[in-house]
Each structure stands twice: as C-alpha cells, then as structure tokens.
Amino acid sequence: MIRKFFKRLLAKPTLSKDIPGKQSHTHLNHGGKTPSAYGVHKPKVWTLAEHKIDRRLVSHNAIRVCETLQAKGYKAFVVGGAVRDLVLGMRPKDFDVATDASPEQVQRLFRRARIIGRRFQIVHVMFGPETIETSTFRALASSSSEVDEHGRVLRDNEFGRQDEDATRRDFTVNALYYDPSTETVWDYHHGMEDLRAKTLRMIGEPSQRYREDPVRMLRVVRFAAKLNFTIEPATYAPIADLADLLKNVPASRLFDEMLKLLMSGSALACLKGLRKAGLHHGVFPLLDAIMDQERGEAFLAEALSRTDQRVKDGKPLSPGFLFACLLWHLVLENWEKKVERGEVKFPALFAAMDEVLAEQAERTAIPRRLTGDMREIWAFQPRFEKRAGKAPFRMLEQQKFRAALDFYELRAETGDADPEVARWWRIFSDGESNNRQHLMDQLRETPAGRAEAAPKKKRRRKRKPNGNASTGAANSGQQAGE
C-alpha cells in the first residue's frame, strides 16, 4: 500500500505536446488551481509567408535565449512589442522572451542572468550591452493576487499557460508570440488582424484592465502616436473617467513611462494625445502651465520636433536635456518674477530652479543625475551673455557646455534669446585658438562688446556708525592718505 502511494507520488505527469497553447505543468506551479478550469484557447498560427517577418531584424541574442530554452524542452518565444514592430517591418529597440520555464530554471541556463521584480518576477539575461528580458507565462488574475483599494495589481507571481499569458497582456497587437525556430507567429486575440487594420484594442474589459494597471492608459496613447494607429472606441472611452488612477502609480514608474514617451520618436504627438485624452495632469502636473504659454509652447514644440528627428536619425538622446526643455519656461517665469522683485540675478535663478524641481518631484521621480544635468544647462544660460575677458575660454572647458549651447540656440530660434549671441558662441566654440582670440578682439570693437567689457560701478560700503566723531574723521583722513 505504502509502496504504491510513493510510486504514484514520484511518477512523472503526462505532457501534452500536440495541443498549441497547452502548458507543460511539469515546469509550473499553479498555486493549487485546476488547469482545466480555464480551458485552452487555440491560437491562430501564422506562417512566414503570411507574417513576412525578416529574421535578420531579430536580435541574435533573443534567438539564442529561445533556442537554449527549447533545447532543454521548454517553450520559448519572442513576444510583445518586438513582434508587433517586426510584423510592421520595423527594427525593435529591445526584445522580450516568454517561456514556460520558471525564473529559477531560466537563470540556471545562462551564465549572466539575474532574477528581478517584485510585482512580477522576470529574468534579465545579459549579453554585453544587450539585455533580453525573459518572463514566465503568467496565469489569469485570481483572488490571490495582491491589489490596492483601486484595483491596481501590486504583486502577482503566479505562473500559468501560454494562452493565459496572452490574455493577461494589454493590447491585441502586443499579444503575439514569434518562434524563431519555426518562424511562425502565434496569435490568440486576432492581433495580426488589428495590426493590419492599424487599430489598438484592449484585451478584456477596458475599465477593469486600466484599474489593474493605470499606466496602460499612457501606453495606449504612446502606441497610437508612435504607430499612427487608431484607438478602438471601447478602449478609448473609459480613459478620461479613470485618469485620476494615475495618482496612485509610483512616481518612479511615471517617470519611466514619461521617458519612453519623450524618446518614442513621436514625443510632440504623444503630449498632444495626453492632453486630448485628459491624462496630462496624471503624467506631468505642470504640462498645462507649459503648453498654455504662447512663448513656452513654441519652444517646447521645437525642442520635441528636434528630439523626434534625432530618434529617426538614430542619434543618441540626453534625458537631462529633454527635461530641461520641458521645465525651462517654468524656471524662466519664476526667475523673472524674482528679478523684478529686486533679487540678485544668479541667486534668483538657482532659487527658481529649486522651487520648480521641488514642485515637480511630488509627482515625477526625476533621478538626481538628471536634475544635476538640468541645473547645469539652466545655470549656463545667463553666462552666455558675458563674453568679455577669460570667461568664454573657461566656459569651453565645462562638461555641459555643448548641451547648454544647444539649449541657448534653441531659445534663440524661438525668440527667447539673442540669435546674434548664439551665432557668435557657435563660431567661437567651433573655431581654433587663433580664431577665437580674433573673435574676442573683434567683439571689443563693437558697442555690445564695449558694454559687456565696461567695468561695473562698485558699491560703496556703508561705514558702521562710531560714537567718537573725531576719531572717525581721523581714521577717514588716514585711509585717504594711504
């Protein structure tokens, strides 16, 4: 009796190999659920002739992760936005892999791999500068999932089958699974059809899905702007009413999403989309104040237009520069008010910076390294107006000089700074030592140069009153004689 019991206990379960989407339960723990309770949704499998993905656009390291997992008997697919972009003929920026192997099983197969994540555990498999984010198929949401009072999922490390994982994803176009070994795409929710129709559609009931993760409201706007897609009406309708849910999202997550938006290549369209959907207060509380200023709106539009062009040209971007542009006119307005009240120019500028950054920090967790870059770029601006003496040569040695000059030129293009000064600095910075000295000599001969070089009147220091008038007079005469 006891022998039969142990024999049944140690027996390997039968694996279902022939049913697409059927999860191998050897690899996963379903937390006591009966797998058959969900039912298996069979995917539509698209062949190479149908999806036309160019395998050369797929990361070699992502293929390597899939093939390594498959060689050990696990399922593994490139998944999500990478597959969406590949079908559209675009080269993805990063690649994610989904598998039925647990995080621990994935980690054991790769030399440089680490498990991260609190809300849902994933594995970062690192190959030099590239990281392949590898996640285990997720189960459908259950009563055991930890949520807050608004329905936002806080922690959910319950693993499941591939069809469950597809249902847990946000939009149909992001629920596509590409198998690089067979070059097939597995589609559980008609994502290929929506891709061809250029439509963004939520999987499941939109209001519930937004409550589970309010950041999805930002993502749908970003995807629509980036891909030039239409948001399906039922997916778009609840956004305005649920916008306040973004106030419950950690500031660090909002910053990450804002950075993705600004570096999407369609930043200006994204910001306009946020305003139209009523989401700007949740992402950037001060965005209205920036966009509603006529001067600030022109500056912001030009800055984001340049940023989008750099993304399209494949050039690097500086997040610190982007956020310096976004908040500049709030700093400028605050600074001008302080100067009008009689405050000294440079201390007033630094005080204005502190106030704006402190106010913004309440909703957007801008990292300290970026706020440091922003401060340097802003602090440079009044210094460009001083071109006399050795100051210009010293400024060239500063680390953020080039970024600050780009910023000043942007201001000059939108009427916020002197175009002639901007042109002079560009010639000065690009020239050689002899040419720079020649520019300095020429500047001294101009009215502007003479005005900059003119010595400022020193303020006479008031003497403290002394009780002995005669002694004070004697001291005064002695100092005059000296």
Q: Which residues are catalytic?
A: 94, 96, 170
Q: 99 — phi, psi (to 5°)?
A: -150, 165
Task: State how far Cα 347 lies from the chain centre.
Answer: 31
Task: State how far Cα 217 lies from the chain centre.
Answer: 15
CA–CA separation, 62 and 20 (whole Å): 22
What are the distances in angstroms from CA 401 to CA 225, 312, 329, 349, 353?
33, 25, 20, 18, 18
Q: Which residues pair with 114 in a beta bridge?
A: 124
* Inter-residue contact 96 to 134 (CB < 8 Å): yes
Give 274-336 as a DSSP string: HHHHT-HHHH-TTHHHHHTSHHHHHHHHHHHHHHHHHHHTT----HHHHHHHHHHHHHHHHHH
CA–CA separation, 371 and 357 (whole Å): 8
* Inter-residue contact 417 to 411 (CB < 8 Å): yes
Question: What's the token pair of residue 18?
Answer: 């022939």
- Helix (H) or strand (E) holding 242, with range, is helix 239-242
Query: Cβ-count burial of 302 within 10 angstroms (0-12 exposed, 13-18 middle, 19+ buried)?
Result: middle
**Upper half-sphere CA count for residue 397 (Cβ side, 13 Å):** 5
Cα four-point dihedral sign 296, 299, 303, 306: positive
What are the distances in angstroms from CA 435 to CA 295, 405, 424?
35, 19, 12
Sheet holding 113-116, edge to edge: 44-46, 184-187, 176-179, 76-79, 96-99, 130-136, 122-127, 113-116
